[in-house]
Structure 1
Amino acid sequence: MKIIVCVKQVPDTNEVRIDPVKGTLIRDGVPSILNPDDKNALEEALKLKDQRDDVHVTVITMGPPQADEMLRECLAMGADEAVLLSDRAFAGADTWATSNTLAAAVRKISEYDIIFAGRQAIDGDTAQVGPQLAERLGIPQVSYVQNFEVQGDVIQVQRALEDGYEVIQVKKPVLLTAIKELNHPRYMSIGGIYDAYRSKEVKVWALSDIHVNKDDVGLEASPTQVKRSFTPEPKGKGIMLKGNTKEMVEQLVVNLKKKHVI
């Protein structure tokens, strides 16, 4: 079974800096991590690898050269292969252009049964890239996966809803987006870290290595227009109530009336 996991390196900070001209994130000098939902997606692929001898896991990302470190973390966790899509032509891409680039890379890999991705990235929160990738590849998709089971050629999925879940059966190939309730990601092992840096390779593919039109990738191909980006103002401190239960209830009522809540 061939599994592709789409991952993303995201800023590990709440103080995100914004390019005032392009409206995109400034990533230089900002500590980065593997996107949390993508780590859940990778863990589910690795769980299948633990259970079956025929599973091969490839992780793929689009980003700057520094994303190599994140991919080696994925290799240290247990992935078999890693691909980094890195080219100045890819820079500044929105979800539309990103999914174009990823789809071209997946077509180059050609063989896959399942594509896993995180529900969304914490630096954008759009939850669009996974579904867009499935549409470009012409394969079925199930988002918000909270449980997952392979039953021969059929995959049974629990898809989380606001007030419960629905059970969906789908045939391979399929794209699934993971949420944190799906599993608890493993840590890197010492042996895994050694192998990731000594015996495994991160393949780097540029624009010329994948069959995609230059006009369909990067900032110029991105229809999303960022009107304004900003860091929200911190909320004020809460009011601490003191006294016995009756006194605190009275204080609470007074404060709620002042704010016209009641």
Structure 2
Amino acid sequence: MKIVVTVKRVVDYNVKIRVKGDGTGVELANVKMSMNPFDEISVEEALRLKETGKADEVVVVSVGPAKAEETIRTALAMGADRGILVETDETVEPLAVAKIVKGVVEAEQPGLVIVGKQAIDDDSNQTGQMLAALLGWAQGTFASKVEIVDASKANITREVDGGLQTIEVKLPAIVTTDLRLNEPRYASLPNIMKAKKKPLDKKSPADYGVDVSPRLKVLKTEEPGGRKAGVKVKSVGELVSSLKSAGVL
């Protein structure tokens, strides 16, 4: 079985986000970028399935600028077999990403597609669900455990408000990963060197007939206001009085 994994290049989670002076967006110049943490989990899960004999090839796909090749190379260094970069300098929204990945999936014919449940830059949490709808495939979202039963079905344990829910999905299927699914491995130096020689195909959105022009317009971006200092009260009565005067009660 072949597994397709999507990865995204985002601002590193350790970096303090800064808004541009003109309020048009987030400052990306001279900022450390890395693979989206949820996508690292997706790559790790695909590699574990391959190592247990449930899959024979892991293909990594990214939609973004030319520098996203670095993100794909990171996944290849972790152990993925090959990569596909759909290159565009546009800010691609989830629906356009889903349409592009649909084209990749139709060309690759995988038995499973693993997607990070969300990207830490826009937190949309939409691409996996949209992809499943476009393909007409089953989906297991927010997965904390993935078990391939056989070539036709898989059991997905997913996190819901009431706890954990295990569902059976028919393959091929879409899985979106949650934080508790696994702990991603680090790429060793020898594997980083080997990754430079692994195959990486470059495509464009036009190759899949997808228009990536944004449907949304950002009017303004601003940092959240600072948190106000708290107030200490001496008694429950004073607390209730303060809440009433603030309109909470």
TM range (shorter): 0.7 to 0.9
- State the Cα distance separating 1:25 from its structure 2 match: 4.9
Mark the CA change 1:10 to 1:255 in structure 2 (over 3 Å): closer, same or farther. farther
- State the Cα distance separating 1:207 from its structure 2 match: 3.5
Letter in 2 for 1:203: D
| SS at 2:130 equivalent | helix
Between 98-107 and 170-179, the greater mean CA deviation after superposition: 98-107
Distance 1:14 1:131 in 2: 30
The answer to whether the 8 Å contact 1:93/1:217 transfers is no
Letter in 2 for 1:14: K
Between 138-147 and 92-101, the greater mean CA deviation after superposition: 92-101
What TM-score, normalized to structure 1?
A: 0.82
Between 229-238 and 150-159, the greater mean CA deviation after superposition: 229-238
| SS at 2:155 equivalent | strand
The C-alpha deviation readout for 1:123-182, integer Å capped at 9, x for no partner, is 111110111111112211111111111111210011110121211111110000000111
Distance 1:10 1:237 in 2: 33
Distance 1:143 1:53 in 2: 20
- State the Cα distance separating 1:257 from its structure 2 match: 5.2
2:221 to 207, 229, 247: 229
- State the Cα distance separating 1:14 from its structure 2 match: 3.5
User: Partner residue of 1:2?
Assistant: 2
Distance 1:126 1:228 in 2: 18
The C-alpha deviation readout for 1:77-133, integer Å capped at 9, x for no partner, is 111111111034xx1222122212222222232x20000001101111111011111
Distance 1:186 1:252 in 2: 52
The C-alpha deviation readout for 1:218-254, integer Å capped at 9, x for no partner, is 22xx333444432212324667x8xxxxxxxx75758
| SS at 1:235 equivalent | coil
Distance 2:160 2:55 in 1: 33
Letter in 2 for 1:6: T
The answer to whether the 8 Å contact 1:46/1:79 transfers is yes
The answer to whether the 8 Å contact 2:132/2:139 transfers is yes
User: Partner residue of 1:149?
Assistant: 147
User: Partner residue of 2:212?
Assistant: 218
Letter in 2 for 1:202: L
User: Partner residue of 1:103?
Assistant: 102
Aligned-pair Cα RMSD in Å = 2.6
Query: Are 2:128 and 1:130 aligned?
Result: yes
User: Partner residue of 1:69?
Assistant: 70
- State the Cα distance separating 1:10 from its structure 2 match: 0.8
The number of aligned residues is 242
Mark the CA change 1:65 to 1:257 in structure 2 (over 3 Å): closer, same or farther. same
- State the Cα distance separating 1:62 from its structure 2 match: 0.3
1:140 to 138, 141, 145: 138
Between 67-76 and 98-107, the greater mean CA deviation after superposition: 98-107
Query: Are 2:16 and 1:14 aligned?
Result: yes
2:112 to 74, 99, 114: 114
The answer to whether the 8 Å contact 1:5/1:57 transfers is yes
Letter in 1 for 2:128: G
The answer to whether the 8 Å contact 2:64/2:92 transfers is no
Mark the CA change 1:228 to 1:154 in structure 2 (over 3 Å): closer, same or farther. same
- State the Cα distance separating 1:18 from its structure 2 match: 5.6
1:203 to 179, 188, 201: 201
Mark the CA change 1:163 to 1:54 in structure 2 (over 3 Å): closer, same or farther. closer
User: Partner residue of 1:246?
Assistant: none
Query: Are 2:193 and 1:194 aligned?
Result: yes
How many percent identity over aligned positions?
A: 29
Letter in 2 for 1:38: D
Mark the CA change 1:181 to 1:20 in structure 2 (over 3 Å): closer, same or farther. same
The answer to whether the 8 Å contact 2:42/2:177 transfers is yes
| SS at 2:110 equivalent | coil
